[in-house]
Structure 1
Amino acid sequence: MIKACCSVAVALLMGLSATVAQANENEISADGFAAYVAKLKQEALADGYAQSTLDTAFAEVKLYQRSVKADRNQPEFKLTLDTYLPRAVPEWKAKKAVEKYQEHRDLLEQIGAEYGVQPRFIVALWGIETNFGSFTGGQDVISALTTMAYEGRREAFFKKELWHALTIVEEQHIPIEQMRGSWAGAMGQTQFMPSSFMQYAVDYDGDGRKDIWGSMGDVFASAANYLKSVGWRDDVTWGRQVQLPDSFDASLASLKTKKTLAEWQQLGVRRMDGSDLPQRDDIEASVVIPDDQQGRVYLAYTNYDALMRWNRSHYFVAAVGYLSDRIRFPR
């Protein structure tokens, strides 16, 4: 989904390094942090949160200079899909995805049928976001969100997320000491921001808590519920890599431009092996060129748009789609 930070996969690949000078410049004053926390607690109390909730949530709150540095020093690298995909989806991850699919197959198929989402996409999202739950971030979510609000550049956004996090604490979905996430507050095995948690998280195992940290039923159902809510279709795939004719009008390459497969066929778009596109009248698609016409080109279906709602990065979508294809057609 749209997040305040890069996806975990991108962060792992690129790192978040800065020089010592840059780090010093990006630190914010700690002097006013305690006063800011006290002000937040008063606002939250006035908004109806219980004093016990605030005492629990802010008991160990800390200023994370690391979060500020990470936010301000997100590096820019020149990548192409051809160099990115082997890093985002190495062979070991593709094999592990198949193993995880088989390990949780019964649960995945049950959830997939209930929500209308093919299980391979649930596993692919899980793998790209958090390496199948093994990298969910170790930051205290309340501290991370409070820090980012105090830093001030996006105070309104992070205060809103903090308020949602307080609701999660108040509703006791996760013990506060286990409420860990990324430097920007993305949480659990789905890496939901607190607002997305409140809107899409599911208590699938029926224990009264929406546990996207430890309950596999809740994790998978929450991901499926998100996709269903943004228009997922279980009768089509995410997209396919295609060839374009030399005469292709590049101005048509946009998610805003939708045409039937027959219309793209007439414009010379073909499968990668040169054969015709599928003959289906019920599918509209867009041509997407993440790099340039010498790089990878995709015919993006409705589910491509849904994945873009999760994270507005063509590279992220391509990685999830590619991993889902590797699950469907293991080597």
Structure 2
Amino acid sequence: MFLKRILLGIALLSGLQLSATVLASQSEMSFEQYLDGLRLQALKEGISQGFVDKSFANIKLFKKALVNDQELAPQTLEHYLPSLVSDALVEQSRALYKANKAEFDRLGKQYQVQPRFVIALWGVTSSLGLDVGDYPVLTVVASNAYRGDNEAFYRKEFIAGLKILQSSDIEFSALKSNWSGKMGYPHFSPTDYASYAQDGNGDGQIDIWTNLSDAFASTANYLKQLGWNDEGTWGRQVQVPKDISQDLVGLATQKPFLQWQELGVRRFDGSDLPKVKGMQVSLIMPDGITGRKYLVYDNYRALLKWHSSDYFALSLTYLSERIKYPAID
């Protein structure tokens, strides 16, 4: 039995197709058998035997684990934006900024990301930290990998989580996530945490779950690495002629404001577009000609690198505008 489990683990690690007459398929494999493959992969990745044994002793099948983390696309932005970005969320976001303004402004200047965008990102991802979860992330990602949907992704996250624990003072139970393996205020994956997490208050620890300074610095650092430029904003809602060519719509087309002005595009209030030379912007219409239209800038493209969804990015920017106006002293 033990030899069979080891062979199963080796086959998982190498990616070989196994004959059903020789070994059980992954769907027939027990969670314990699946963990044998993860153990072998962890050892191959340079994680010590002692640490593997200690960590795996704590891993149980997470029965609430889900692997289908797909968005249910809402019908239109007109309905989606006010439902996701409620007045309550706006007030909570503004209150969070006001209560921590000096610290958030300091970190915003240090990482060159405006605080309102960091707070807005928290709002649409983790509900300002309410959805950070209380499950050991290794248990969650191992269980999600075992269930098979997007297995390669979750296996990678599992190894990243192991490496975080081995190289830090974080305890197994303290590396927490929600049901999908997303951690802390910014909903980082373990690989995100390893790449972008920052010590925002200089205490030698990185806590993106309860420490607002660390969570802010880590989120801002990620945005900066994605190409964020705090000298500009994300874009603006506009009006367009009803007969505008669909060939002009989409991020693949970039034109200066002057050319969009000549094509009949105007600010949402009908006034002329900004007279900014050299800046290349794109026209998007997520709901088509009858829906909302936007001219979007490079910072918008950075948000799409975080999560490739216009609805996600526009929800974030909508909340950021509600945080900005009226101004918070």
TM-score by length of 2: 0.86
Percentage identity across aligned positions?
Answer: 40
Residues 1:144 and 2:118 aligned together: no
Per the alignment, residue 314 of structure 1 pairs with 310
**What displacement does 1:81 show?**
0.5
Counterpart CA distance in 2 for 1:186 and 1:161 is 10
Unaligned runs of 5+ in 2: 1-25
1:228 aligned partner, one-letter code? K
Deviations 1:248-304 (A, max 9, x none): 111211112111111111111111110011111142211111111111111111111
Distance 1:281 1:173, change over 3 A: farther
Structure 1 residues 116-265: aligned runs within 5 Å: 116-172=112-168, 174-265=170-261
Distance 1:74 1:312, change over 3 A: closer
Distance 1:133 1:149, change over 3 A: same
Query: Does the Cα contact within 8 Å between 1:98 and 1:330 map onto a contact in 2?
Result: no
Query: Does the Cα contact within 8 Å between 1:173 and 1:211 map onto a contact in 2?
Result: no
Deviations 1:91-116 (A, max 9, x none): 11111111111111111111111111
Instruction: Report the more deviating stretch, 55-64 or 119-128.
Output: 55-64
Instruction: Report the more deviating stretch, 105-114 or 30-39.
Output: 30-39
**What displacement does 1:161 show?**
1.2
**What displacement does 1:203 show?**
1.7
Per the alignment, residue 44 of structure 2 pairs with 46
Distance 1:200 1:72, change over 3 A: closer
Deviations 1:24-63 (A, max 9, x none): xxxx968521011123113212321123432343232122
Query: Does the Cα contact within 8 Å between 2:145 and 2:154 map onto a contact in 1?
Result: yes
**What displacement does 1:173 show?**
5.3
Counterpart CA distance in 1 for 2:42 and 2:108 is 38
Counterpart CA distance in 1 for 2:260 and 2:146 is 50
Query: Does the Cα contact within 8 Å between 1:30 and 1:63 map onto a contact in 2?
Result: no
1:116 aligned partner, one-letter code? Q
Q: Which protein shows a greater Rg?
A: 2
Distance 1:121 1:191, change over 3 A: same
Unaligned runs of 5+ in 1: 1-27
SS at match of 2:64: helix
Counterpart CA distance in 1 for 2:69 and 2:323 is 35
**What displacement does 1:211 show?**
1.7
2:64 aligned partner, one-letter code? R
Q: RMSD of the TM alignment (CA)?
A: 2.0
What is the aligned residue count?
A: 302
2:186 aligned partner, one-letter code? T
2:153 aligned partner, one-letter code? F
Distance 1:162 1:73, change over 3 A: closer
SS at match of 1:286: strand
Query: Does the Cα contact within 8 Å between 1:137 and 1:181 map onto a contact in 2?
Result: yes
**What displacement does 1:66 show?**
3.1
